[in-house]
Amino acid sequence: MIRRVLIANRGEIARRVIRTCRAMHIATVAVYSEADANALHVREADAAELIGPAAATKSYLNIAAVIDAARRSGADAVHPGYGFLSENATFAEACEQAGLIFIGPPGSVIRHMGSKTGARAIVAAAGVPVVPGETPAAQDVASLAKAVTTIGLPVVLKAAAGGGGKGMRIVRDAESLEESISSARSEAERAFGNGTLYVERLIDRARHIEVQIIGDTHGHLVHLFERDCTLQRRHQKVIEEAPAPRLTPGVRARLTEAALAAGRAVGYINAGTVEFLLEGEGDDARFYFLEMNTRLQVEHPITEAITGLDLVRAQLLVASGEPLPFTQADVHATGHAVECRIYAEDSRRLLPQAGRLIHYVEPAGEGIRVDSGVTEGQTVTVHYDPLLAKLITYGPTRDDAFRRMTEALGAYEILGLDHNIAFLLRLLERPEVRETRAHTRFIEAEFATLAAPPDPDVLQAAAAIAAFVSSRDAEAVIADADEARPDPWDLIGPVAW
Amino acid sequence: MPKRLQLSTGAWDWVAEVSGARISLTPGDDDVTVSRSGAHVRVEGLAQPMTGTAMVSGDQVWVTVAGEVFLFSVTHGTPRAKATRDQDAFTPPMPATVVRILVKPGDAVNEGDVLIALEAMKMELPIRAPRKGVVRAVHCRESELVQPGHVLLEME
């Protein structure tokens, strides 16, 4: 069994992995950049290793530095989390070569699935439906334009080496093709060091449904049902739920079987996600393989909520060479779970935000889970992903889970930077979302109304509060004068007046 | 004696008269009553009661109500001269890296053209031309880290 895990990540996912390791009596080693010296994951791990300066390329993406930290700290395994090096085959292989267990699939599987075109070919051969598309051998504008003509507009340009929406552009008219190619390519080059573009037919008004799978080294491969991640903006998921609503038992059975077929086709080991686009209704709904994520997914907590399983625990057991602690027959989905991603951002202008969290209180209560990477007093920097936390609610029915989510979002208190909670609340109120009529470009299509200015009464209430606390400020400062606060921020809290 | 305050979020401005827990706001002509419980401030007198959270930081106040976030600048007493926003001050909204410079001095550009592409927190932020014009000067280099206030480019 693994004894000491180095977590090659930061923020909420590093803390998430630490929690399960602690429960399993496995020691943890955090890594951190100079910008994260005081971060929560560093404080919570049993040991911590500095791996470089703030820039991710020099720290969290620096394979040599991470491997070196693992050796130095005596770790026998590495958990990559998601993002950063989690889907880097070279990193997985470097771990193996250094005698470290990589908690994920073998490097060869990551490499096969990391290439969109390679992955398509493999799963298509296993009988899994794929969206029509191609990667032109010549990558000049004329060759890409020819591929676009063959497939037919509208199309999606994708980074052949990529994921996470980077280097992705939708092209609806021939005029915008050239600009889309150039911006997709430069984004792909910067994100993945490879500007090769893949052209795919755009499946319009589709839902994004993905299946969680997990396999062990003893030949077992099971699915943990599906998640609906249709609500996305700029190809990044915003709200996810499990199980997928309005999915017939027949389609669910075909979908989970297709995911297992895709997993078997590559000899999948450890936790992974097979993503599909779903179009159509009822038993006639059709689905197409989109890609496979060879790592723990951001939204894994909603699967944990409905199955009652700890995915990180299963990952650690499988990586240790143990058989899966459950069979397919043991896995049941009960109730409904929703996850909202809380981002530091200006949702109206879609700009990430930085700042100091001068007040930060997470919601708590029955059916509420918060996986966060931040705490009050912490400064959110521009160096990394603007995800502050994941808020997960669970209930017996979808309505219960949604009601809890609305309440929990309302109870979340974050001051010191702009965030997307109002945007999430507005999204959750929409009948299209309530009735599962939204498609993957719903946010884009409805952006003008979703990003409308605040309700006039909300504005008036905010102005009244600002006026009230400002007029009281002088008195509050006098009342507090003896307290010698080291913190320059004056909390409008339990001051005696 | 009521206290008179000027409030601004940048997008919206108010004048507020505060008499203890009673506040009148212009525009809106709303008279509301405010009460506090811990970190929460409750406002009554609008269509329905609303509760928010607030924190003072210097002459600014962070407020959230219904998930919306506001940063108010507060001036006590009479209003000061309002700063005009210079449309041609091309400056990043946050610390960012210059990933591409698509124009050079002398280039003619149309409204909406992308002039400079910045990247912050893994997202690309285009700086676009606010109008048709000619680029006078570029004050940044590719891969340079730039801060808010740094004028990246000038237009004629």
Q: Which residue of A has its CA nearest to B117?
A: A183
pLDDT greater than 50 at residue A343: yes
Neighbours of A139 (CB within 10 A): 14
Residue A368: name the closest of A342, A401, A399, A344 by CA: A401
Distance from CA of B145 to the nearest CA of A (A): 11
- For residue B51, the model assigns a pLDDT of 95
Average pLDDT over residues B20-28: 91
Q: Report the distance separating Cα A341 and Cα A240, nearest Å.
A: 9
B98 or A18, higher pLDDT: A18
pLDDT greater than 50 at residue A484: no
- Per-residue pLDDT of B45-91, as tens digits, reads 999 999 999 999 888 999 999 999 999 999 987 554 444 444 455 87
Q: Report the distance separating Cα A343 and Cα A352, nearest Å.
A: 8
Cβ-proximal residues to A194 (8 Å cutoff; 6+ apart), any chain: A159, A160, A161, A162, A188
Size of interface A-B (CB pairs under 8 A): 195
Name the β-bridge partners of B40: B37, B53
The full set of domain ranges for chain B reads 3-76, 96-155
- For residue A317, the model assigns a pLDDT of 98
Chain A residues with CB under 8 Å of B52 CB are 461-462, 465
- Average pLDDT of chain A to the nearest whole number: 92
Reported as a pLDDT band with limits 50, 70 and 90, residue A57 is very high
- For residue B123, the model assigns a pLDDT of 67
- Per-residue pLDDT of B109-121, as tens digits, reads 988 888 998 887 6
| Interface touch B66/A190, C-beta < 8 Å | no
- For residue A491, the model assigns a pLDDT of 35
Q: Report the distance separating Cα A479 and Cα A319, nearest Å.
A: 58
Range in A160-174, A331-345, A435-449 the model is least confident about: A160-174
For domain B96-155, give the CATH number: 2.40.50.100
Burial (CB count <10 Å: 0-12, 13-18, 19+), residue A358: buried
Distance from CA of A401 to the nearest CA of B (A): 19
Cβ-proximal residues to A43 (8 Å cutoff; 6+ apart), any chain: none
> Global pTM?
0.81
- For residue B121, the model assigns a pLDDT of 65
Q: How is residue A132 written in tokens?
A: 């029509």
| Interface touch B65/A461, C-beta < 8 Å | yes
Q: Report the distance separating Cα A444 and Cα A158, nearest Å.
A: 18
Range in A288-292, A306-310, B93-97 the model is least confident about: B93-97
| Interface touch A492/B56, C-beta < 8 Å | yes
B122 or A446, higher pLDDT: A446
pLDDT greater than 60 at residue A478: no
- Per-residue pLDDT of A124-162, as tens digits, reads 999 999 988 888 999 999 999 999 999 989 999 998 887
Cβ(A415)–Cβ(A489) below 8 Å: no
- For residue A494, the model assigns a pLDDT of 32
Range in A165-179, A308-322, A409-423 the model is least confident about: A165-179
| Interface touch A414/B64, C-beta < 8 Å | yes
Average pLDDT over residues A479-492: 36
| Interface touch B120/A190, C-beta < 8 Å | no
| Interface touch B25/A467, C-beta < 8 Å | yes
- For residue B89, the model assigns a pLDDT of 59
Average pLDDT over residues A28-43: 97
Reported as a pLDDT band with limits 50, 70 and 90, residue A303 is very high
Q: Which residue among A186, A419, A463 places its CB closest to the CB of B69?
A: A419
Q: How is residue B31 written in tokens?
A: 């008279």
Reported as a pLDDT band with limits 50, 70 and 90, residue B10 is confident
Cβ(A388)–Cβ(A344) below 8 Å: yes
Average pLDDT over residues A166-195: 90
- For residue A495, the model assigns a pLDDT of 31
Range in A25-39, A265-279, B46-60, B88-102 the model is least confident about: B88-102
pLDDT greater than 70 at residue A477: no
> What proportion of chain B, given as a percentage, has pLDDT over 70?
90
Which of A67-73's residues contact partners 24+ apart within 8 Å by CB, and which partners? A67/A94, A67/A95, A67/A98, A67/A100, A69/A6, A69/A29, A69/A31, A70/A6, A70/A29, A70/A95, A70/A98, A70/A100, A71/A98, A73/A4, A73/A6, A73/A29, A73/A47, A73/A49
Q: How is residue A348 written in tokens?
A: 């109206």
Q: Which residue among A353, A459, A470 places its CB closest to the CB of B12?
A: A459
- Average pLDDT of chain B to the nearest whole number: 85
- For residue A464, the model assigns a pLDDT of 96
Handedness of CA A149, A155, A157, A160 (dihedral sign): negative
| Interface touch A419/B12, C-beta < 8 Å | no
Average pLDDT over residues B19-26: 92
Range in A92-96, A143-147, A478-482, B53-57 the model is least confident about: A478-482
**Whether A411 contacts chain B with CB within 8 A:** no
